[in-house]
Structure 1
Amino acid sequence: MKDLGKKERLLIRLVEQLDEENVVKLADELLNDGMDPLYLLDLVNEGMNRVGKLYECKDYYIADLIMAGLIFKQVLELDKMTTHFYVKHNNKIGKVLLGTVKGDIHDIGKDIFRGMLEANGFEVIDLGVDVPKELFLKKYEEYKPDILGLSGVLTNTVDTMKEVVDAFVEAGVRDKVKIIVGGNHLTEEICKFIGADNFANDASVGVKVCKEWMNGIKEQGVIDNG
């Protein structure tokens, strides 16, 4: 993010420092000054990414990651944020089935991704954590989402994600849904091994991918799954 103003840089730094009170206060001030809510979320997400890097360097602990997730949720719950999204997105642009795969109970990254998806107009069905492939498939049949999102923090979730995708192939529905996988350890090569359509190490990047997919579907004239 380039050419940021003083308050924008301060917001990112406050998130990085986990200064809950001042993050919420400054975010509210920026919204009242007319900042676009989606741009504000991108700034907060940049701070979240910095928290994640500090965690990877062992300067922060799991409790700090949890605090960062709570701060993110508080920003999402600000009046101007909720008003903007509820007014703007009565008509959802797409449906996403989301969950952390079996063997992993981390939900911070998933929850942030969900919040950003909803803020951008998606309907999200969140299955929670430690979700087996059978449940992903069952809920796909129930909700018929446009996109399936698989989250995982642990490195052994790569094989689990592949098992989910393989289950969709075996059920004959793989070509009916776009699949995105999320986690800091994922790469393009791993994404191909899993059999997903794309991957994201960052929530805002993942949302961008999902929006591009939905734009592509609309351009092809595909009818909404309803």
Structure 2
Amino acid sequence: MLEKIKTSIVNFGNGTEEAVKNALDENFKIGEIINAISQGLDKVGNLYENREYFLSELILSGEAAKKGIELILPHLDKEKSGITGTIVFGTIKGDVHDIGKTIVSAFLIGAGFIVHDLGVEVTSEQFIESVKEKEADIVALSTLLTNTMPYMKVIIDDLKKEGLRGKIKVIVGGRPVSEDFAREIGADGFAKNPFDAKEICKNWMKK
């Protein structure tokens, strides 16, 4: 059944929800199911990097992974194994782009993170409220627009004012964002792609 989950992710989500439901019915451990989803996403990522898959296929597989995880969420309180950490994720105020965030979220979820996706046009106040409510370990900020980039610093500064900055890590990303910019605004990390985001966040949680 776990192999079916992995294969379904690679096949653009054909049968993912059914396979996850069956795995839950057969009492597979949550960590095992998450790992199967993660392996599927890793395979998709390799195919994309080798130019065997295109962006549209990456998105389909990412959406399938998110749907599979949604089926698992009600069971997480019963079994904490396999949970890496909690992330609050959003496209910042002024930007309505969603595709990149959706893909990155799927990879983070596949790596065992609980990801609270706040959507697009997310304000500093919304990030802060969610960090407090969800007791987040990491805040992920995304934008594809150059003119909205300065708002990332506003959010980081507001987190400091609320006394939250020392308790969480902040990772930023998006087409116009760079490592130098991330450093300038006081972010802890910069991810240029979903694979970087996953590895950076996983490494933070190991420390």
Q: What's the CA shift for 1:189? A: 0.6
* Aligned pairs (5 A) from 1:91-106: 91=80, 92-106=83-97
1:167 to 158, 162, 166: 158
Q: What are the ranges of 5 or more consecutive residues in structure 1 without an aligned counterpart?
A: 1-10, 12-20, 28-34, 52-63, 217-226
2:191 to 183, 186, 200: 200
1:180 to 168, 171, 180: 171
* 1:102/1:130 contact within 8 Å kept: yes
Q: What's the CA shift for 1:136? A: 0.7
* Aligned pairs (5 A) from 1:78-93: 90-91=79-80, 92-93=83-84
Q: What's the CA shift for 1:50? A: 7.7
* 1:95/1:122 contact within 8 Å kept: yes
Partner of 1:38, secondary structure, is helix
Correspondence for 1:56: none
Correspondence for 2:60: 70
Q: What are the ranges of 5 or more consecutive residues in structure 2 without an aligned counterpart?
A: 1-6, 17-34
TM-score for the superposition, normalised by structure 1: 0.65
Percent of aligned pairs sharing the same letter: 35
Correspondence for 1:32: none
1:157 aligns with 2:141: no
Correspondence for 1:130: 121
- Looking at structure 2, the residues matched to 105 and 180 of structure 1 have their Cα atoms a distance apart, in angstroms, of 19
- Looking at structure 2, the residues matched to 67 and 103 of structure 1 have their Cα atoms a distance apart, in angstroms, of 28
Residue identity opposite 2:63 in structure 1:
K
TM-score for the superposition, normalised by structure 2: 0.70
Correspondence for 1:4: none
- Looking at structure 1, the residues matched to 114 and 171 of structure 2 have their Cα atoms a distance apart, in angstroms, of 16
CA RMSD of aligned residues (A): 3.5
How many residue pairs get matched?
176
Change (3 A) 1:116 1:159: same
Change (3 A) 1:75 1:138: closer
Deviation per CA, 1:51-82, whole angstroms, max 9, x where unpaired?
A: 8xxxxxxxxxxxx9567523432366579xx7
1:43 aligns with 2:43: yes
Of 65-74 and 143-152, deviating more is 65-74
* 2:62/2:107 contact within 8 Å kept: no
Change (3 A) 1:133 1:201: same
Deviation per CA, 1:80-139, whole angstroms, max 9, x where unpaired?
A: xx78xx79x942221111111000111111111211111111111111110011111122
Structure whose CA Rg is larger: 1
* 2:58/2:103 contact within 8 Å kept: no
Q: What's the CA shift for 1:39? A: 3.7
- Looking at structure 2, the residues matched to 99 and 200 of structure 1 have their Cα atoms a distance apart, in angstroms, of 14
* 1:98/1:124 contact within 8 Å kept: yes
Residue identity opposite 2:196 in structure 1:
V
- Looking at structure 1, the residues matched to 130 and 38 of structure 2 have their Cα atoms a distance apart, in angstroms, of 29
